[in-house]
Every structure is written in C-alpha cells, then in structure tokens.
C-alpha cells in the first residue's frame, strides 16, 4: 500500500509540475516586477504603457522587431529590461500586456 501511495503522489507531483511549466506567463505580474519602473515614468525614453503616440513608431516595425528589441536590448533598454532571469516568453508576455491599451 505504501508503494502505491508513493507512486500516486509522485505521479500527481509530476502532473502538477508539467501543468505549471506549461502555464502562460503572467504579463501583468512581469510588467509590475520588471518593467514598470521605466515604462510607467518614461525613464530613459521608455514608451509609457498606454501612450499610443509613443508606441506607434515601434509598432510600425512589427511585433517581431519589438520582441527582439525587448529581449536583446535596444538603445537605453538593456536586454530583458535588465532582468536576465526572465525567459523570452515572459518578456513577450510583458510586452503584450504593455501594448493591450494601444492595440
């Protein structure tokens, strides 16, 4: 019985891990943690969330370019906003969250 219980617990833990690992990144939480300091104030020329005029020329270059600049860094923005622990998918989710008001 102990062996069966241990096996079931291990299987449940594996399923929980798999579900967590595949969950979509929370763009708002990432923005609040890693992006807000600059993208709420406009520090170093960062476009402010919701400012259509500031985002328009960036959006004209296309989402692939915008994602690449966010991940690799561009002008005053360091790669991943200086948060190198973020995955590319997490950075993209934060970008998508920032763009919601202007798309």
CATH superfamily of 25-102: Cytochrome c-like domain (1.10.760.10)
What is the token pair recorded at 14?
Answer: 């594996």
Domain-wise residue ranges, the chain = 25-102
Mean pLDDT (the chain) is 87
The 10s digit of each residue's pLDDT in 28-72 is: 999 999 999 999 999 999 999 999 999 999 999 999 999 999 999
| pLDDT band at residue 4 under the 50/70/90 scheme | very low
**For residues 87 and 20, is the Cβ–Cβ distance under 8 A?**
no
pLDDT band, residue 9 (cuts 50/70/90) = very low
pLDDT score recorded for residue 78: 96
């Amino acid at each position: 019985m102990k062996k069966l219980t241990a096996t079931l617990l291990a299987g449940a833990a594996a399923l929980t891990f798999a579900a967590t690992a595949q969950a979509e990144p929370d763009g708002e939480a990432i923005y609040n943690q890693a992006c807000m300091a600059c993208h709420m104030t406009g520090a170093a020329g960062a476009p402010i969330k919701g400012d259509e005029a500031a985002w328009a020329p960036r959006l004209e270059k296309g989402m692939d370019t915008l994602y690449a600049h966010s991940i690799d860094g561009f002008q005053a923005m360091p790669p991943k906003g200086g948060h190198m622990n973020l995955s590319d998918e997490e950075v993209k989710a934060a970008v998508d969250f920032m763009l919601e008001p202007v798309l």
